[in-house]
């Protein structure tokens, strides 16, 4: 009997002189086992300098003033020539980020800022994972339902089922009408919400009201209030716990300043 052995990429082929052959597979390579090394658990890095997120817009002036009272000066943001979005306090104790009001909770939640100032309305709308520490008692306003002055709907309960309500605070509006058990369509608008009823696109609006002047000038009246809002000091929860000594010192100063009478 004659055997022919031929090596192939996938094994060795042993062939007789007849019609049959045997194909032998190589033993698979098994690497020598090594001890399992678990991935390191991500560690929260405590920043060397306190970072504060400040809101652009209506809350900025008073936000800067309240920090000035405790020795942190970010007034450079008020300079009309300033184009910087991040500045450091002259004492090098803290730095501030100037961001959109709706983005303040985002910077705090993701740890880019340890403290921030945000309206209570934004916290209810966005539901961020942040610690709501102090009511700073400025930036007062209210979330209201408003309709045209000549509207037949004098109460939210009068708004017909599947009616249309325009709002930039979509989640707040949805929650409100859900609690009333009134199915409505919420139309998201992020500009002049008052145009919704004026153009006939909606029966009502849900929006922030401060003095009510804008509503009156556009022929609208309030028919209900959802909640009152004011500026709040918020913190990153983990940073607040791990870096409590540093952050709590500033929070305590703000709290004491906030309790003092204005005179």
Span 165-185, pLDDT tens digits: 999 999 999 999 999 999 999
Number of continuous H segments (helices) and E segments (strands) in the chain: 8, 14
Cα distance between residue 138 and residue 170, in whole Å = 24
Instruction: Output the CA torsion 65→257→122→224 (10° steps).
Output: -110
Cα distance between residue 18 and residue 4, in whole Å = 11
Name residue, tokens 């939640």: 109
Quick check: 151 and 197 in contact, CB under 8 A?
A: yes
pLDDT the model gives residue 260: 55
258 C-beta neighbours (distance < 10 Å), count = 15
pLDDT the model gives residue 43: 44
Flag whether pLDDT at 79 surpasses 60.
yes
Cα distance between residue 204 and residue 159, in whole Å = 8
Quick check: 234 and 104 in contact, CB under 8 A?
A: yes
Distance (Å) of CA 37 to CA 33, 34, 40, 136, 160: 12, 9, 9, 48, 63
What band does 127 get if pLDDT is binned at 50, 70 and 90? very high
pLDDT the model gives residue 262: 46
pLDDT the model gives residue 155: 97
141-229: in CATH 3.40.190.10: yes
Flag whether pLDDT at 234 surpasses 50.
yes
The helix (H) or strand (E) run that includes residue 195 is helix 195-198
pLDDT the model gives residue 212: 96
User: Would you give the distance in Å from CA 59 to the centre of its chain?
Assistant: 17
Range with the poorest average pLDDT among 40-54, 139-153, 233-247: 40-54
Flag whether pLDDT at 207 surpasses 50.
yes
**pLDDT tens digits, 9-68:** 545 454 544 444 444 445 554 444 444 445 444 344 555 689 999 999 999 999 999 999
Percent helix, strand and coil across the chain, each rounded to 5?
A: 30, 30, 45
pLDDT the model gives residue 244: 73
pLDDT the model gives residue 21: 46
Query: Partners of 208 in the beta sheet?
Result: 143
Q: What are phi and psi of 52, to 5 degrees?
A: -120, 130
Tokens representing 80 are 């009309």
Range with the poorest average pLDDT among 6-20, 80-94, 125-139, 246-260: 6-20
Flag whether pLDDT at 160 surpasses 80.
yes
Q: Report, as an integer, the average pLDDT of 131-151.
A: 97
Task: Choose among 63, 70, 4: nearest CA to 251.
Answer: 70
Q: Tell me, which fold does domain 50-138+231-259 have in CATH?
A: D-Maltodextrin-Binding Protein; domain 2 (3.40.190)
Cα distance between residue 44 and residue 101, in whole Å = 26
Residues carrying CATH 3.40.190.10, the chain: 50-138+231-259, 141-229
Cα distance between residue 126 and residue 145, in whole Å = 19
What band does 243 get if pLDDT is binned at 50, 70 and 90? confident
**pLDDT tens digits, 89-124:** 999 999 999 999 999 999 999 999 999 999 999 999
Range with the poorest average pLDDT among 28-42, 71-85, 126-140: 28-42
Q: Report, as an integer, the average pLDDT of 145-173.
A: 97
3-state secondary structure 91-118: CCCEEEEEECHHHHHHHHHCCCCCEEEE
């Amino acid at each position: 009997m004659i055997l022919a052995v031929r090596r192939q990429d996938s094994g060795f082929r042993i062939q007789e002189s007849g019609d049959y052959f045997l194909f032998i597979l190589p033993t698979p390579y098994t690497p020598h086992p090594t001890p399992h090394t678990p991935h390191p658990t991500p560690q929260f890095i405590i920043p060397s300098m306190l970072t504060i997120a400040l809101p652009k817009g209506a809350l900025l002036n008073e936000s800067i003033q309240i920090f000035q009272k405790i020795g942190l000066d970010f007034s450079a943001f008020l300079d009309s020539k300033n184009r910087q979005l991040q500045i450091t306090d002259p004492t090098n104790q803290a730095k501030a980020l100037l961001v959109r009001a709706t983005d303040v909770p985002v910077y705090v939640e993701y740890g880019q800022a340890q403290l921030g100032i945000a309206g209570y309305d934004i916290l209810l709308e966005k539901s961020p994972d942040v610690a709501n520490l102090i009511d700073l008692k400025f930036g007062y306003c209210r979330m209201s339902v408003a309709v045209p002055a000549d509207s037949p709907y004098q109460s939210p309960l009068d708004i017909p089922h599947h009616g249309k309500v325009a709002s930039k605070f979509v989640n707040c509006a949805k929650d409100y009408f859900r609690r009333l058990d009134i199915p409505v369509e919420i139309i998201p608008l992020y500009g002049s919400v008052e145009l919704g009823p004026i153009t006939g696109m909606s029966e009502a609006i849900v929006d922030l009201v401060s003095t009510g002047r804008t509503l009156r000038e556009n022929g609208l009246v309030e028919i209900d209030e959802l909640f009152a809002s004011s500026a709040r000091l918020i913190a990153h929860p983990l940073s607040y716990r791990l870096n409590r000594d540093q952050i709590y010192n500033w929070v305590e100063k703000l709290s004491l300043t906030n309790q003092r009478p204005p005179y």
